A and B are shown apart, each in its own frame.
Chain A
Amino acid sequence: MFDGIHKRVVSVWLPRLASDRALRVRAVDAAFALTLREGNTDRLYCLNAAAESVGLQRGMRFADARAFCPDLISQPARPELDARFLAALRQWAQRYCPWVAVDGSDGLVMDITGAAHLWGGEGALLDDLRARATRAGLSVRLGLADTRGAAWALAHYREGTAALGASQSALGALPVAALRLNKDVTIALQRLGLRTVGALATAARAPLARRFGREVLLRLDQALGDVPDPIAAPPDAPHYGLRLTLPDPIGLVSDVTAATERLLTRLCAKLHAQSMGARRLSLVLRRVDRGCLEVDLRLAAAMNDPARILPLFDRGITGLDAGFGIDQIRLVASVVEPLAPLQISHTVPARTGQLEDLITRLGTRIGLDNIQRFLPADSHIPERSFLVAPAAYSTAQGHWHSPRPRPLRLFAPEPINSTGSTPPRHFRWRRMALTAARITGPERIAPEWWLEDENWGRGLRDYWRVETHQGRRLWLFYTPQNPGWFVQGEFA
């Protein structure tokens, strides 16, 4: 018989996790449901209390639900975000006890053995948990018992607490579904008249095992505490941070750099071993007068090579005021990304990373977000055929493929004085008198009708390429629906 510390397990069931999460983003004071596409039909995935009270259920076809409740507000469900949210909740719940694991897609399980007294007893712990969850807009159902299975059963089927050693009596009246059995087995048991856990527990075990396999008995034993059912909390995320305490304060740049290098070498070794790269590093220097200095370094690409990172700290370190000296240094990689080791080969040139280094170097001066690059975009409209993105957070995309010639420089349309639907022979642009030499076109581009674009208020445009005797090659357009001539770009 078990005679160690008696386990106490809390099962937290978030019955409306998905809809609560969606409603936290934007509250809705009406029947609300999330829908998920299964096969070819949309089905209700999760719904709020208002929707349940008008008689909608999970798994119902969305079309039926609309017919039942015409003003149902809905959104497509995002199960992957729900899973992330649940993982975040798990971390939060570690405030109560260290052993917290995710249970299914909508629950947590916590081993609070020996932790309850810190919160003033089990009741107080549950009250606190419930109050905080409710304040965060989550509906929550809690069960507390000696075993994981019993706690789960209580949370799902009769919210409450089973006193120490009272699992069996607490579970006896619950339906067999409370044993975490799969649906087919549950139904089969119910059809045979074995409706409750109590009935199942008193039935002959051998015939049951023959008919339902060992799963049923295993779950039963787990719930009653006869078979262990441990909670496996996932390990904490690795921490990439190091500290160096100095016996004597230092103040020279070279000393600080040397200290940083020592830390960086060790940190990079750790990153390297785990195939990670730092994207953001911060160096925190504590002065003897308790002042704190911080050097923040954002990298344009994930890196774990100390030789390349160290020079990037130079600028930050040189500008520091060491005061009476620095006696503690901490280096933390606050943002890391996976960085797979590179296959060394003769054919593929090694990644030099010179561009990333340059971007980082420039970024430390003018801000990483201010360095941008052009990306191709998919549109006929010249103004929308490219995107501008921060260089550090985007990758260059393939080649620029355009079926039609596009000018190298594109600017806002500048009107020129001319009439007629063919390009003018002589015109003035930017106070220059120009004479057309060679004209090609027109290329007719109509506005994207699904967007409202005031730049295109003049309707469709006929673009012409005009080479001038003066040497400039311009991109002109004419708007036939609202006659006028404009220059919009210049070819190289």
Chain B
Amino acid sequence: MSYAELCATSNFTFLTGASHPEELVLRAAELGLAAIAITDRNSLAGVVRAYSALKTLATEQGAQQAEGLRIRSSTQIDASSRQATGDAQNLPVTKGLTLPKLIVGARLVLRDSAADWLALPTDRAAYQRLSRLLTLGKGRAAKGECHLDLADVLAGAQGMILIALPHRNLPHANLTQAARDVTRMQRQFPGHVFWGAAPRYDGTDQAHLTQCAAFALRTSAPMVALGDVLMHHANRRQLADVLTCLREGTTIDEIGTRALPNAERRLKPFTDMARLFRHHPAALRRTLEIAARCSFSLAELSYEYPDAEGAEAPQARLERLTAEGMARRCPLGIPPRYHQLAAKELSVVKDLGFAAYFLTVHDIVAFARGRGILCQGRGSAGNSILCWALGITDVNPDQIGMVFERFISRYRGEPPDIDVDFEHERREEVIQWIYARYGRHRAGLCATVIHFRSRAAIREVGKVMGLSQDVTAALSGQIWGLSGGGADPARVRELGLDPADRRLAQTLRLIAEIIGFPRHLSQHVGGFIVTRGRLDELCPIENAAMEGRTVIEWDKDDIDALGILKIDILSLGMLTCLRKSFDLLQQHNHQTLTLDTVPQEDEATYQMLQRADAVGVFQVESRAQMNFLPRMKPATFYDLVIEVAIVRPGPIQGGMVKPYIRRRQGLEAPEPFGPALSDVTRKTLGVPLFQEQAMQIAVVGAGYTPEEADKLRRSLASFRRMGTIGAHKDRFIKGMLANGYPHSTAEQCFSQIEGFAEYGFPESHAAAFAMLTYVSSWIKCHHPAVFACALLNSQPMGFYAPAQIVRDVRDHGIEVRPICTNHSDWDNRLERRADGALALRLGFRQIKGFRAEDAGWIVAARGNGYPDPESLWLRAGLTPAVLERLAEADAFATMGLTRRDGLWAVRAIRAPAPLPLFANPLDGEGINEPAVTLPPMHLGEEVVEDYISLRLTLRAHPMELLRPGIPGITPNDRLATAPLGRISVCGLVITRQRPGTASGVIFLTLEDETGVANVVVWPKLYERYRRAVMGGRLLRVTGRLEREGIVSHVIAERIEDLSPRLSELGHPLDAAIGITQPQADDAPRPPRSRAAPSARHPREQAKKLFPSRDFH
């Protein structure tokens, strides 16, 4: 005799359920239940996880070695490498379990019923109706909610088992009301309606069951036993209470009777249920009958890709388009190798029936091209000859070595993966086109489950448990930079807290427990699901928080698990920049270029990159990359592919960079691991860098089948933790020995793959990125003005702020002209100089807080130009606030007004309470007022004002003005030639970084008027100069100068925060007057040493004036 649990709430009923679906399924198996239904509140979000868990359990039962059941919510996927990272929780699995049957269902909480309704579809049709029902309810409500009424259920619940679960603690009258609902339902769906009874251990169980039996008899809805489960194990009661607190916004000390009185809402074995239902054995038996009737399984969801319109079969159309594309791509004749590759790919696509998928991507890309939106595909299937021929990607097959197994695996049973990047400013057009073309019932975005990560967990659980904000801040401060693990007891002790304290120990345990819990659903960055049939019959669709977006309830992994195809419609700022560059080239040079017609393998471009002249260039502009470029000396496209892939946390941590560089520089011979493997590793000089290579090493070296190799790649992530490494290692080394490799080589190979586990990067991604790197550097190299203009017009994007971009373009000899009401547009634009060169005219978009609409009015009403600010007000209809912004930006200079005069003139327009006489002036009929002579602005003030308004200046770098007052510092441009040894540099902080790979080392970039200096701060020194490093805007760093190639570093030994000096720029007179700031202490001080760290400009702190990019 057994029992089936028909009501289990997982933690996908957010902030209510206290167990992962995986845990519920595993516990049900351990208890020997016949079936378990995952019934979340108005949601199907958790069912796929339970389904996958059950599948894993089934394979584990058959496998020789149990790897454990991974809780999917506990892992994170690294966006760039597509590998799972973080501390996955794996549940240990014992052998010999009988697996329960999974029943998919939902708990319908209706607005007008006294009972909740468990809806368990019996077949696929009923599932589809349930999904549509939920979609209906979600469509009416805002994100995360669902408004359903009894009438909706009556209209659309055919084929579902409906179990009424009357709310407990109801007065008798409401139970009668519930009975009325049950009767109505029973009349509509005879034989499908049941009366659910759940024991609670509250002293009234038997009475309650008797009452339920009576009502069941009266309504002729048979009684069925339920557990109304909230957790898989009794020890989750504490977490359930914490979740209640979070949901209700209260603390644990004030939770009162909202807490669970006991832990009885857990999964129970048959014996317990039998004891509780000893007087109603039929109710228990009925669970099995219902479980037997629910024959629907998620495996039945056959997913159909939308066909292209027209009579042509998808495969035929794909073949035709491929042939046409190849002919277009290779006007000089198609090499036979291409033919072979294409034929091979086409046959796989045909076998697996993915033709329609490729066609859909093709259609989307074709639409974007038609609208002039730049796009580029990437992903494992993205860099195939098919995609190249279809125009989805511009990386041709010769540029990288393609690994066919990575394209689509016949064995993997996994859909192909193509991401398409679009211009970030115009992606929404593509998205809305997809909605319009396929309809909202057929297209939807994927969800992303937002989980509790340690920071949020500490903050929220800490608050619930009544820890003071100091303690929670200190706790999360201790885990700065980490996001996977919880709090470490040793570090807690370092904070002066006692981990043995009961409350604290409980809190820490609960924090660890809640990490990985789902919190809410959000929308995926761009994963689209498109179906042939109705999407809302596949999965409920809900409104996203963003206007005009609809999202399905499942995330990317759920979709993968069910074999549903998705297309990632992503946005990339660099594509916007490139498109704008191409437009500008067209406009000013009459040169028509696209991504694939940019001249390839251009010598000058690579030389520029070798000089690390890469501000603004895609992917290689970061400090680490710029550092690496001169050592790497890229000379060909594949070098860029490697460059993009190698300078990332993984390879740096894995120690791949050093050997690679040594080999590249010829200091060390490449280690190809024998002739057979040399084909695989030659390109990267024997350093395995890409996931494809790891697979090939396994295949070629250790004799894996492609299928096994792929499995190896996937299990790499869980390698170390699970101790399954031994088995793989044996297998691998035996394989290599059998192929005649020495044992040492085998060991070495394996350790490299092992180290590789957490960061392997797909070559196809690297290639796609490298393509954009090349194109952007080509434009920068040959058309620096165009590139800078496009880059500024695409902000915000990239690594550098406009100030650095402007500075860089001026260093390249391009004139930059200031913003001017009579010449500027909203966008920055290029002006032809008398000598034929292009100059960059800054646009109104650089002014902080300026709106494009106002810029439009200025341009539209400009005519022959504006003579004075008042004419702007009267003709362009600008509000005084906008005029003031223009004055602040010194945009009236061509009218002969200084910034201060401009402000004075504008101020008269924008009087807060206009005096009656001045209220309605006519054009040109000004009022004669006494002339006021305002003191002229000091250059320092002008610079500060420029920074306030534009965040950049064309006048002088602040350091230039301050330098005379700071003796003994070396300008940054001399660092390359200065003798090694002790040196002082000084500059504005433009970036601070603490890479996770550098064990606490902080990298600062200081900028002065001559260039930038890279400063390395060791952790010990950081502790001493913490405040200066964290908060200083202007630093003087004294330390050792080191040089490697052309890259110089200053290893800091002493750091001084000179930020107060910046206030001297803005207030040149303050020091002379000797004002004591209110912030200063009451002791009168000599004015010079007024080292108030508040380098405050009246409006803002220096912090905002001289922005830096910190720890992003």
Contacts and interface: CB of A to CB of B under 8 A. Distances in A.
A192 B907 contact: yes
Given A42-B469, A139-B1082, A380 B1093 contact: no
Contacts of A67: 477, 1026, 1030
A210 interface: yes
Contacts of B254: 378
A204 B503 CA distance: 68
Contacts of B918: 210
A210 to B, nearest CB: 6
A372 interface: no
A157 B1075 CA distance: 7
B1073 interface: yes
Interface stretch (B260-268, B532-540, B758-766): B260-268
A57 B1079 contact: yes
Given A210-B929, A213-B912, A192 B904 contact: yes
Contacts of A113: none
B65 interface: no
A462 B1078 CA distance: 66
A442 interface: yes
Contacts of B834: none
A268 to B, nearest CB: 42
A57 B257 contact: no
A137 to B, nearest CB: 15
Interface string B1025-1041: 01100110000000000
Interface string A68-92: 1110111010000000000000000
A157 B473 CA distance: 35
Interface in A438-492: 440-446, 448-450, 452, 460, 462-465
Contacts of B1067: 195
Interface stretch (B125-133, B201-209, B415-423, B788-796): B201-209
B930 A157 contact: no
A214 B930 CA distance: 17
B1076 A212 contact: no
Contacts of A298: none
A403 interface: yes
B474 interface: yes
Interface in A402-453: 403-405, 440-446, 448-450, 452
A223 interface: no
B1027 A68 contact: yes
Contact of B900 (A191, A204, A380): A191
B332 interface: no
A450 B1082 contact: no
Nearest to B884: A188
B599 interface: no
Interface stretch (A58-66, A229-237, A321-329): A58-66
A207 B930 contact: yes
Interface in A370-399: 377-380
Contacts of A68: 1026-1027, 1030-1031
A403 B238 contact: no
Contacts of A180: none
Interface stretch (A48-56, A259-267, A279-287, A348-356): A48-56
A158 interface: yes
A448 B900 CA distance: 68
Contact of B903 (A192, A404, A405, A449): A192
Contacts, number: 163
Given A42-B469, A67-B1030, A448 B915 contact: no
A179 to B, nearest CB: 14
A278 to B, nearest CB: 35
Interface stretch (B35-43, B931-939, B1008-1016): B931-939
A197 B1082 CA distance: 21
Could you say which of B203, B932, B1069 has the most chain A C-beta atoms within 10 Å of its C-beta?
B203
A226 B1079 CA distance: 30
A404 B203 contact: yes
Contact of A158 (B263, B929, B1076): B1076
Given A404-B203, A452-B502, A187 B1094 contact: no
Contact of A207 (B203, B929, B1079): B929
Contacts of A35: 469
Nearest to B905: A211
B904 A211 contact: yes
B256 to A, nearest CB: 3
B397 to A, nearest CB: 50
A209 interface: yes
Contacts of A174: 1075
B529 interface: no
Contacts of B936: 193
Given A380-B259, A450-B465, A460-B262, A70 B477 contact: yes
A156 interface: yes
B261 A445 contact: yes
B1030 A66 contact: no
A190 B1098 contact: yes
A5 interface: no
Could you say which of B503, B1031, B1076 has the most chain A C-beta atoms within 10 Å of its C-beta?
B1031
B312 interface: no
Contact of B261 (A203, A440, A446, A450): A446
Given A213-B913, A441-B203, A443-B201, A204 B932 contact: yes
A195 B1069 contact: yes
B309 interface: no
Contacts of A15: 1078
Contacts of B904: 192, 211
Nearest to B470: A74
Contacts of B1075: 157-158, 173-175
A141 B264 CA distance: 64
A159 interface: yes
A42 to B, nearest CB: 7
A378 B930 CA distance: 74
Nearest to B929: A207
Given A157-B1075, A446-B263, A450-B503, A141 B1082 contact: yes
B1073 A193 contact: no
B228 interface: no
Contacts of B913: 213-214
A168 interface: no
A440 B252 CA distance: 31
Contacts of B1076: 157-158
A55 B1027 contact: yes
Nearest to B201: A444
A222 interface: no
A400 B254 CA distance: 18
A364 interface: no
Contact of A378 (B207, B256, B907): B256
A174 B1075 CA distance: 7
Contacts of A57: 1079, 1093-1094
Interface of B: 169, 201-204, 206-207, 237-238, 241, 252-254, 256-257, 259-264, 465, 469-470, 473-474, 477, 502-503, 506, 888, 900, 903-904, 907-908, 911-913, 915, 918, 929-930, 932, 934-937, 945, 1026-1027, 1030-1031, 1057, 1067, 1069-1070, 1073-1076, 1078-1079, 1081-1082, 1093-1094, 1098-1099
Given A195-B1070, A443-B204, 17 more contacts: A42-B469, A57-B1093, A68-B1027, A141-B1082, A173-B1073, A173-B1075, A175-B1075, A188-B907, A191-B903, A192-B934, A194-B934, A196-B1073, A204-B930, A207-B929, A443-B202, A443-B203, A449-B238
Interface of A: 15, 35, 42, 49, 52, 54-55, 57, 62-64, 66-70, 72-74, 76, 139, 141, 156-159, 173-175, 186-188, 190-196, 203-204, 206-207, 209-215, 377-380, 403-405, 440-446, 448-450, 452, 460, 462-465
8 contacts: A55-B1057, A57-B1094, A174-B1075, A194-B934, A213-B912, A379-B256, A379-B257, A440-B203
The 6 closest A-B pairs by CB, nearest first: A378-B256, A443-B203, A444-B201, A193-B935, A55-B1093, A211-B907
